[in-house]
Protein backbone atom coordinates (compact mmCIF):
# COMPACT_ATOMS: atom_id res chain seq x y z
CA UNK A 1 0.00 0.00 0.00
CA UNK A 2 2.92 2.35 0.50
CA UNK A 3 4.23 4.38 -2.39
CA UNK A 4 7.37 2.78 -3.82
CA UNK A 5 9.68 3.09 -6.73
CA UNK A 6 9.70 0.20 -9.18
CA UNK A 7 13.06 -1.02 -7.92
CA UNK A 8 12.04 -0.91 -4.25
CA UNK A 9 8.81 -2.73 -5.03
CA UNK A 10 10.69 -5.52 -6.80
CA UNK A 11 13.20 -5.90 -3.97
CA UNK A 12 10.50 -6.14 -1.34
CA UNK A 13 8.48 -8.68 -3.22
CA UNK A 14 11.30 -11.00 -4.16
CA UNK A 15 12.98 -10.92 -0.78
CA UNK A 16 16.28 -9.74 -2.30
CA UNK A 17 18.00 -6.76 -0.73
CA UNK A 18 17.05 -5.87 2.82
CA UNK A 19 15.59 -2.45 2.08
CA UNK A 20 13.95 -0.11 4.63
CA UNK A 21 10.57 -1.50 3.49
CA UNK A 22 11.54 -4.84 5.03
CA UNK A 23 12.64 -3.57 8.45
CA UNK A 24 12.35 -6.33 11.05
CA UNK A 25 9.80 -8.38 9.03
CA UNK A 26 9.97 -11.36 11.38
CA UNK A 27 9.16 -9.16 14.36
CA UNK A 28 6.28 -7.60 12.45
CA UNK A 29 4.82 -11.03 11.70
CA UNK A 30 5.33 -12.17 15.29
CA UNK A 31 3.38 -9.19 16.58
CA UNK A 32 0.60 -9.52 14.00
CA UNK A 33 -0.13 -13.13 13.12
CA UNK A 34 -1.13 -14.51 16.56
CA UNK A 35 -3.61 -11.67 17.27
CA UNK A 36 -6.76 -13.04 15.58
CA UNK A 37 -6.14 -16.57 16.84
CA UNK A 38 -5.74 -15.29 20.40
CA UNK A 39 -8.95 -13.30 19.98
CA UNK A 40 -10.83 -16.43 18.91
CA UNK A 41 -9.30 -18.54 21.71
CA UNK A 42 -10.22 -16.07 24.46
CA UNK A 43 -13.52 -14.93 22.96
CA UNK A 44 -14.92 -18.31 21.90
CA UNK A 45 -13.19 -20.92 24.07
CA UNK A 46 -11.74 -19.51 27.31
CA UNK A 47 -14.37 -16.83 28.05
CA UNK A 48 -17.31 -17.66 25.75
CA UNK A 49 -20.49 -15.59 26.00
CA UNK A 50 -18.91 -13.17 28.47
CA UNK A 51 -18.24 -9.44 28.31
CA UNK A 52 -14.56 -10.02 29.05
CA UNK A 53 -14.27 -12.53 26.22
CA UNK A 54 -15.97 -10.15 23.81
CA UNK A 55 -13.68 -7.31 24.87
CA UNK A 56 -10.60 -9.44 24.26
CA UNK A 57 -11.96 -10.47 20.86
CA UNK A 58 -12.65 -6.84 19.92
CA UNK A 59 -9.19 -5.78 21.14
CA UNK A 60 -7.58 -8.46 18.97
CA UNK A 61 -9.48 -7.09 15.96
CA UNK A 62 -8.43 -3.53 16.71
CA UNK A 63 -4.81 -4.64 17.06
CA UNK A 64 -4.98 -6.66 13.85
CA UNK A 65 -6.20 -3.72 11.81
CA UNK A 66 -4.27 -0.92 13.55
CA UNK A 67 -0.87 -2.59 13.83
CA UNK A 68 0.05 -2.60 10.10
CA UNK A 69 -0.66 1.13 9.80
CA UNK A 70 1.31 1.90 12.97
CA UNK A 71 4.22 -0.25 11.77
CA UNK A 72 4.22 1.47 8.39
CA UNK A 73 4.16 4.94 9.95
CA UNK A 74 6.55 4.58 12.88
CA UNK A 75 8.89 1.71 11.95
CA UNK A 76 9.15 1.80 8.17
CA UNK A 77 8.37 5.54 8.15
CA UNK A 78 6.32 5.31 4.98
CA UNK A 79 3.19 7.09 3.87
CA UNK A 80 -0.12 5.28 3.66
CA UNK A 81 -1.87 4.94 0.30
CA UNK A 82 -5.10 3.44 -1.01
CA UNK A 83 -3.32 0.72 -3.00
CA UNK A 84 -4.14 2.17 -6.43
CA UNK A 85 -4.77 -0.24 -9.28
CA UNK A 86 -2.14 0.37 -11.96
CA UNK A 87 -1.75 -3.05 -13.55
CA UNK A 88 -5.36 -4.18 -13.93
CA UNK A 89 -6.53 -7.42 -12.42
CA UNK A 90 -10.25 -6.82 -12.00
CA UNK A 91 -11.15 -9.39 -14.64
CA UNK A 92 -8.99 -11.93 -12.82
CA UNK A 93 -10.64 -10.98 -9.54
CA UNK A 94 -14.16 -11.38 -10.90
CA UNK A 95 -13.37 -14.63 -12.72
CA UNK A 96 -11.60 -16.23 -9.77
CA UNK A 97 -14.36 -15.13 -7.40
CA UNK A 98 -17.05 -16.68 -9.59
CA UNK A 99 -15.11 -19.92 -10.06
CA UNK A 100 -14.34 -20.32 -6.34
CA UNK A 101 -17.94 -19.49 -5.44
CA UNK A 102 -19.28 -21.99 -7.97
CA UNK A 103 -17.07 -24.69 -6.47
CA UNK A 104 -18.18 -23.86 -2.90
CA UNK A 105 -21.84 -23.73 -3.89
CA UNK A 106 -21.65 -26.96 -5.86
CA UNK A 107 -19.92 -28.71 -2.98
CA UNK A 108 -22.47 -27.56 -0.41
CA UNK A 109 -25.61 -28.23 -2.44
CA UNK A 110 -24.37 -31.67 -3.53
CA UNK A 111 -22.96 -33.13 -0.29
CA UNK A 112 -23.32 -30.42 2.37
CA UNK A 113 -26.21 -32.12 4.17
CA UNK A 114 -24.04 -35.19 4.71
CA UNK A 115 -21.44 -33.32 6.76
CA UNK A 116 -23.01 -30.19 8.29
CA UNK A 117 -25.28 -30.39 11.33
CA UNK A 118 -27.64 -27.64 10.20
CA UNK A 119 -29.64 -27.54 13.44
CA UNK A 120 -26.49 -27.04 15.52
CA UNK A 121 -25.32 -24.40 13.04
CA UNK A 122 -28.64 -22.55 13.36
CA UNK A 123 -28.46 -22.69 17.15
CA UNK A 124 -24.93 -21.30 17.23
CA UNK A 125 -25.65 -18.45 14.83
CA UNK A 126 -28.86 -17.57 16.65
CA UNK A 127 -26.97 -17.50 19.97
CA UNK A 128 -24.67 -14.76 18.63
CA UNK A 129 -27.57 -12.67 17.35
CA UNK A 130 -27.66 -13.65 13.67
CA UNK A 131 -31.05 -15.35 13.78
CA UNK A 132 -32.86 -12.26 12.47
CA UNK A 133 -32.86 -11.76 8.67
CA UNK A 134 -32.28 -8.02 9.07
CA UNK A 135 -29.32 -8.48 11.43
CA UNK A 136 -27.95 -11.23 9.22
CA UNK A 137 -28.18 -8.92 6.20
CA UNK A 138 -26.42 -6.17 8.14
CA UNK A 139 -23.68 -8.61 9.12
CA UNK A 140 -23.27 -9.67 5.50
CA UNK A 141 -23.00 -6.05 4.31
CA UNK A 142 -20.37 -5.30 6.95
CA UNK A 143 -18.42 -8.46 6.15
CA UNK A 144 -18.39 -7.94 2.39
CA UNK A 145 -17.87 -4.18 2.23
CA UNK A 146 -15.65 -3.60 5.27
CA UNK A 147 -14.20 -6.77 6.78
CA UNK A 148 -13.07 -8.22 3.46
CA UNK A 149 -11.26 -4.98 2.61
CA UNK A 150 -9.56 -4.99 6.00
CA UNK A 151 -8.52 -8.62 5.57
CA UNK A 152 -6.96 -7.84 2.20
CA UNK A 153 -5.17 -4.86 3.75
CA UNK A 154 -3.80 -7.02 6.60
CA UNK A 155 -3.16 -10.39 4.99
CA UNK A 156 -2.40 -9.50 1.39
CA UNK A 157 -0.70 -6.13 1.67
CA UNK A 158 1.05 -6.21 5.06
CA UNK A 159 1.55 -9.93 5.61
CA UNK A 160 2.59 -10.68 2.02
CA UNK A 161 5.00 -7.73 2.02
CA UNK A 162 6.65 -8.91 5.24
CA UNK A 163 6.81 -12.52 4.05
CA UNK A 164 8.27 -11.41 0.71
CA UNK A 165 11.03 -9.60 2.59
CA UNK A 166 12.03 -12.94 4.16
CA UNK A 167 11.30 -15.59 1.51
CA UNK A 168 11.08 -15.84 -2.26
CA UNK A 169 7.70 -15.17 -3.82
CA UNK A 170 6.25 -18.73 -3.96
CA UNK A 171 7.16 -19.38 -0.33
CA UNK A 172 5.91 -15.95 0.75
CA UNK A 173 2.57 -16.63 -0.94
CA UNK A 174 2.17 -20.02 0.76
CA UNK A 175 3.26 -18.82 4.20
CA UNK A 176 1.01 -15.76 4.14
CA UNK A 177 -1.92 -17.98 3.12
CA UNK A 178 -1.13 -20.31 6.02
CA UNK A 179 -1.08 -17.39 8.46
CA UNK A 180 -4.43 -16.24 7.03
CA UNK A 181 -5.89 -19.70 7.67
CA UNK A 182 -4.93 -20.21 11.34
CA UNK A 183 -7.71 -18.23 13.04
CA UNK A 184 -10.31 -19.52 10.58
CA UNK A 185 -9.54 -23.07 11.71
CA UNK A 186 -10.15 -22.14 15.34
CA UNK A 187 -13.35 -20.19 14.62
CA UNK A 188 -14.84 -22.90 12.39
CA UNK A 189 -14.17 -25.59 14.98
CA UNK A 190 -16.89 -23.99 17.12
CA UNK A 191 -19.51 -24.64 14.45
CA UNK A 192 -18.42 -27.70 12.48
CA UNK A 193 -17.07 -31.23 12.78
CA UNK A 194 -13.31 -31.83 12.33
CA UNK A 195 -13.86 -33.11 8.78
CA UNK A 196 -15.82 -30.02 7.75
CA UNK A 197 -13.24 -27.78 9.43
CA UNK A 198 -10.49 -29.52 7.46
CA UNK A 199 -12.34 -29.13 4.15
CA UNK A 200 -13.30 -25.50 4.78
CA UNK A 201 -9.87 -24.50 6.07
CA UNK A 202 -8.31 -26.12 3.01
CA UNK A 203 -10.55 -23.87 0.95
CA UNK A 204 -9.50 -20.82 2.99
CA UNK A 205 -5.85 -21.72 2.44
CA UNK A 206 -6.33 -22.10 -1.32
CA UNK A 207 -8.20 -18.79 -1.40
CA UNK A 208 -5.34 -17.18 0.52
CA UNK A 209 -2.85 -18.49 -2.03
CA UNK A 210 -4.91 -17.14 -4.93
CA UNK A 211 -5.39 -13.70 -3.37
CA UNK A 212 -1.77 -13.43 -2.24
CA UNK A 213 -0.60 -14.35 -5.74
CA UNK A 214 -2.92 -11.69 -7.14
CA UNK A 215 -1.39 -9.10 -4.82
CA UNK A 216 2.11 -10.08 -5.95
CA UNK A 217 1.01 -9.94 -9.59
CA UNK A 218 -0.98 -6.69 -9.55
CA UNK A 219 0.59 -4.82 -6.60
CA UNK A 220 -2.84 -3.82 -5.30
CA UNK A 221 -5.33 -5.30 -2.84
CA UNK A 222 -8.40 -4.47 -4.95
CA UNK A 223 -8.38 -7.32 -7.51
CA UNK A 224 -8.07 -9.80 -4.64
CA UNK A 225 -10.78 -7.97 -2.73
CA UNK A 226 -13.22 -8.33 -5.63
CA UNK A 227 -12.62 -12.09 -5.65
CA UNK A 228 -12.81 -12.27 -1.85
CA UNK A 229 -16.09 -10.32 -1.74
CA UNK A 230 -17.75 -12.56 -4.33
CA UNK A 231 -16.75 -15.64 -2.32
CA UNK A 232 -18.07 -14.08 0.89
CA UNK A 233 -21.40 -13.42 -0.83
CA UNK A 234 -21.66 -17.11 -1.71
CA UNK A 235 -20.80 -18.15 1.85
CA UNK A 236 -23.38 -15.80 3.33
CA UNK A 237 -25.89 -17.05 0.77
CA UNK A 238 -25.35 -20.62 1.93
CA UNK A 239 -25.65 -19.48 5.54
CA UNK A 240 -28.96 -17.78 4.72
CA UNK A 241 -30.27 -20.97 3.11
CA UNK A 242 -29.39 -22.94 6.25
CA UNK A 243 -30.80 -20.35 8.65
CA UNK A 244 -33.93 -19.19 6.88
CA UNK A 245 -34.65 -21.99 4.42
pLDDT of residue 1: 54
* pTM for the predicted model, two decimal places: 0.88
- CA angle at residue 196 from 198 to 130, to 5 degrees? 120
Phi-psi region of 223 (alpha: psi -120 to 50; beta: other; left: phi over 0): alpha
Q: What is the mean pLDDT of residues 4-10?
A: 42
Q: What is the mean pLDDT of residues 57-84?
A: 96
Q: Is 127 helix (H, G, I), strand (E, B) or coil?
A: helix
Whole-angstrom Cα distance, residue 174 to residue 155?
Answer: 12
Contact 148, 231 (CB under 8 A): no
Q: What is the separation of C-alpha 222 from the centre of its chain, rounded to a whole number of angstroms?
A: 13
Q: How many C-beta atoms lie closer than 10 Å to residue 204's C-beta? A: 18
pLDDT of residue 11: 39
SS3 string, 9-57, reads HHHHHHCCCCCHHHCCHHHHHHHHCHHHHHHHHHHHHHCCCCHHHHHHH
Tell me the pLDDT tens digit for each residue of 131-152.
999 999 999 999 999 999 999 9
- CA angle at residue 28 from 27 to 33, to 5 degrees? 105
Contact 131, 243 (CB under 8 A): yes
User: How sure is the predictor about 17, in pLDDT bands with cuts at 50, 70 and 90?
Assistant: very low
Contact 146, 6 (CB under 8 A): no
- CA angle at residue 53 from 52 to 54, to 5 degrees? 90
pLDDT of residue 7: 40
- For the chain, the domains span 6-81+89-244
Amino acid sequence: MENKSKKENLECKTGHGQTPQATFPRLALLLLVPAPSLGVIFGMFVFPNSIFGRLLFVFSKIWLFAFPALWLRFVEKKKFSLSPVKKGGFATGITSGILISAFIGGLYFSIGDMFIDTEFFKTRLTSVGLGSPIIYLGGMIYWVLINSVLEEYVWRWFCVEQCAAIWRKPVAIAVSALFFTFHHILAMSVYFSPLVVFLCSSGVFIGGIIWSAMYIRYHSIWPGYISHAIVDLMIFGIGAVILFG
